[in-house]
Structure 1
Amino acid sequence: MTLLAVERMKLVSTRSPWWCAALALLLTTGFAALMAATAVPEVPLTVASTQFGYRFGMTVVMVMAALAVTTEYRFGTIRASFLGSPGRTGTLVAKAAVVAVVALVLGELAGFGSWGIAKLVDPGADLALQTAYEWRAVAGVGLVYAAAAVLAVGVGAIVRHTAGAVSVLLIWSFLVEGLVQLVPRVGDDVFRWLPFNVADKFITGDPDPSARDVVYGPPPADAVLGPWPALAYFAGIAAVVLAAAVVAVNRRDA
């Protein structure tokens, strides 16, 4: 519990997490307002479209999580953190846990905030949360953000440099996964198992039968897993990356 309290104080005592939180909420709710303001009968506003900006918010959350580690390496405070606890593993796990909780809260604020803003901009839209798909599309954002934050902490601990860690996260999520589809024969099959595409399946894929067309929101993911197994798969990958970071941190000098 002491490690968790220390990591919480370190996280909230710096400006970057607050700026990242504000930016994540601004991006997600801003896109929701834009989707609501531009909705027409031919392209109606749906629960899915209110979450159009969730991927952009997740990117900012991952940057925040990576900074929680790389900033300590940059200023050398990581040495004091490791000296103040019996083992480095506990420090890194505590940091990941605290960041994951913050990401979970931000995700829920982003999901329900986007849904609420869209309803205010377009009061006549049918945005009732009735099916399991619609609840996942809104309330599930926090769960995906939490897993993504753990993954980003692991990447930050492995790379240790802010620019490098952020570059890896952004390039992989926005570029590499899409380019894999261009590989002849096997590209599409591999893409269906890539982590961020699988995470999208939990938010946008395999919806329950309803009259709302998800193509008017984030593109439906084509991952082979169902929604909840997809979330477990993404969280498992985040846990593996964090475990690799624990090994790396214990083997290298701070």
Structure 2
Amino acid sequence: MTLLAVERIKLFTTRSPWWCALAALAVTIGFSALITGTADTGELITVSSAEFGYTFGMAVIVVLAALAVTTEYRFNTIKTTFQAVPNRGAALLAKAGVVGGLAFVIGELAGFGSWGLAKLLKPSGDLALNSTADWINVAGIGVVYAIAAVIALSVGILIRHSAGAISLVLIYNLAVEQLVPLIPKVGNKIHEWMPFNVAHKFLTGTGESNGSRGGEMGPPLSDSPLSPGWALAYFAGIALVLLTISIVVAKRRDA
């Protein structure tokens, strides 16, 4: 608990997490307001369409997570941390727990905030949380944000430079997975197993949260062959593997 308290103090005494948190909420909820507010009178707003802006908020979350560790390397405060806590694995796990916890809270606020605003702007929309799929699409955003934060934190530990880590996680999150299907013959098969595509499968399933007309009324669905439960396990497994690798590397090299 002491390590968690220390990491919490280090994280919240800097400005970047606060600004990133506000930015993530603003872009996610703002996108929901844009989609809902500009919808035609006859267009049905669903839970899935109200939550589609989560991808933009996740881009800010990965920046927050990467900065949480790379700034320590930049200003050499990580050396003080490792001197005070010789067990580097424990220190980095505590940091992952704090950053992941913050990302989870931001995700829950963003998910329910987007849904609530859509409900306010379009009370006639198909926005009732009547099924497990609907609840996952809203409440699951916090889980996805937390896992994405751990992935970005792991990349930050491996690269140690803010610009490099942020560039890598942003380019991958916003561009790489969308371009993979363009690879001839094997592109679509590879895309089915890309981490953030699989995370999208966890949130949207087979389109149940797109309303009574299924996938026809919402944003594009994931092409992952996994069920939502296995999709979450797969996404979490990738984060765990990356975190383990980053901790092993951190233990073997100089701070």
Judge same fold: TM > 0.5, yes or no. Answer: yes
> Partners of 1:89 and 1:179 in 2: how far apart?
35
Q: Deviations over 1:104-163 (max 9, x none)?
A: 111100000000011111222231000121111101100100100111110000010011
Deviation at 1:181, TM superposition (A): 0.7
- Give aligned pairs, total: 254
Amino acid in structure 2 at the alignment position of 1:125: G
Gaps of 5+ in 1: none
> Partners of 1:90 and 1:215 in 2: how far apart?
47
- Trace 1:94-133 onto structure 2 (pairs within 5 A): 94-133=94-133
1:34 counterpart residue number: 34
> Partners of 1:182 and 1:35 in 2: how far apart?
28
- Trace 1:4-153 onto structure 2 (pairs within 5 A): 4-153=4-153
Deviating above 3 A after TM superposition, structure 1's stretches of 4 or more consecutive aligned residues are 207-210, 212-218
TM-score (norm 1): 0.96
1:223 counterpart residue number: 224
TM-score (norm 2): 0.96
Say if 1:90 and 1:221 are closer, same or farther in 2 by CA, change over 3 A.
Answer: same
- Trace 1:155-234 onto structure 2 (pairs within 5 A): 155-208=155-208, 210-234=211-235
- Trace 1:234-245 onto structure 2 (pairs within 5 A): 234-245=235-246
1:253 counterpart residue number: 254
Percent identical: 56
CA root-mean-square deviation: 1.3
Deviation at 1:43, TM superposition (A): 2.9
> Partners of 2:99 and 2:191 in 1: how far apart?
28
Please say if residues 206 and 215 of structure 2, whose CA atoms lie closer than 8 Å, have aligned partners that are also in contact: no
Please say if residues 32 and 50 of structure 1, whose CA atoms lie closer than 8 Å, have aligned partners that are also in contact: yes
Say if 1:214 and 1:155 are closer, same or farther in 2 by CA, change over 3 A.
Answer: same
Gaps of 5+ in 2: none
Secondary structure (helix, strand or coil) at the match of 2:224 reads coil
> Partners of 1:215 and 1:5 in 2: how far apart?
47
Please say if residues 197 and 221 of structure 1, whose CA atoms lie closer than 8 Å, have aligned partners that are also in contact: yes
> Partners of 1:217 and 1:57 in 2: how far apart?
19
> Partners of 1:22 and 1:248 in 2: how far apart?
32
Please say if residues 106 and 142 of structure 2, whose CA atoms lie closer than 8 Å, have aligned partners that are also in contact: yes
Deviation at 1:215, TM superposition (A): 4.8
Please say if residues 7 and 95 of structure 1, whose CA atoms lie closer than 8 Å, have aligned partners that are also in contact: yes
Deviation at 1:213, TM superposition (A): 3.8
